[in-house]
Amino acid sequence: MTTTVSENNKNFHCKSCHFEKCLELGMQKECEFELRVPICSFVTVVKMEVVRNADSSQPTSSTTGISKILKMSYPEVLMFYVGQTKRAMDRRLQGSSSTSPQDALEQFLQTKKLTDQIAMELCLVCPGTDLLERSDLDLMFQHCSFVSIWLDTALMSVSNYEAEKEKSGREKTEDEFLRFNRHFQSTVTSELARLKPDLYEYSALKAFCIWKLGLLDSSAAMKAVANEHYLAVTSALAHYYQSTKNLEQYEIASRIADITLLLGPMFSVYQDVSQLYSNLNIKDCIE
C-alpha cells in the first residue's frame, strides 16, 4: 500500500522502501538508513547465526527470527531504532543554538520544529508503514513527535537531573509549561536516571512508545504491525543481553520487564502532553 502526504495542495506518494518524493517534503538525504551495514559486533554475531540457521534443517530461533510483515530479521529491526536514535541525537546537538530564546516555551517550540522533522522522517522510513492508512500515520506521527522531543530530551538531561530537580524546587512559578516540565522531569527523567539504559535499551523503549502508546485507538493493520515491532525488538534485545552482556535468563527477563513497565508512566505523561498542547494551542500533526 502507498501512503500519501499532502503539502501545498499537492500529493506526494511515499513508499517506505523507496523514499519517493521524500526529499521534496524536506527529508534529509543522510537520514536514509543503511539497513544492511552492521554497526556493532552484536549484529555481526546475530547475522552469522541467521545464516547458519537458514542453511540448516532446524527452524530459526525466536531471537534471530525474521518478520514476514516487516521483511527484516529481528536484530535488524532493533538496529533500525538504534540507528535512528543516534541520528536523532546527533541532529539535536547539531541543531542546538547558542542564541536560543530565554523563554522556556519559545525554546521548546523552536526545538519542536526540528524534532517534528525527525519524527516525520521516522514515519516515512519505519518498516511496515507502507501497510498503514493515513489515520494510522497521523497517530504514529504523534507518537514519534512525542518521543523525539520529550523522551530524547529526558535522556539528554539525565546527567543534570539532580541539579535541575533542586533548581526547580526553588522556583515558584505559575507558568503552565514550566509546571508541566517539572512534572515530566519527576515522572520520566527520574525513571530514566534510575534505569540508566544503554543505547540499545533506550532505542527499544522508543520503539515500544511509538507502537504501544495509542494502540487502542489504532486500526487492525496498525495493531498487527505494532505487534511485529514489539516481538522483534524484545527478541533481539534478549539476544543482545545474552550474546553481549552474558546475562542469565532471569536477569534478561527482569531487565526487559523494567523497560516495558516504563510504558505505564509514559502513557500517563503522553495523555498530559496532549492536554498541554490543547491548552497552549500547540500543533501536533503532519501538515
Say what the pLDDT of residue 159 is.
72
Q: What is the DSSP letter of 217?
A: G
Q: Which three cell numbers stand for residue 192?
A: 530514566
Say what the pLDDT of residue 162 is.
58
- Show the CA angle centred on residue 129, arms to residues 231 and 18, nearest 5°: 120
Say what the pLDDT of residue 282 is.
92
Q: Dihedrals φ, ψ of 15, to 5°? A: -100, 130
Please report, for the chain, the start and end positions of each structural domain, with discontinuous segments joined by +.
Answer: 78-280
Buried b (16+ CB within 10 A) or exposed e, 142-165: bbbbbbbbbbbbbbebbeebeebe
pLDDT < 50: residue spans in the chain: 1-63
Residue type, 255: R
Q: Which three cell numbers stand for residue 110?
A: 523552536
Say what the pLDDT of residue 42 is.
47
CA separation for the pair 66, 169 (Å, rounded)? 49
Domain 78-280: CATH superfamily, name plus number: Retinoid X Receptor (1.10.565.10)
Say what the pLDDT of residue 286 is.
66
Query: For the CA atoms of the chain, what is the radius of gyration?
Result: 19
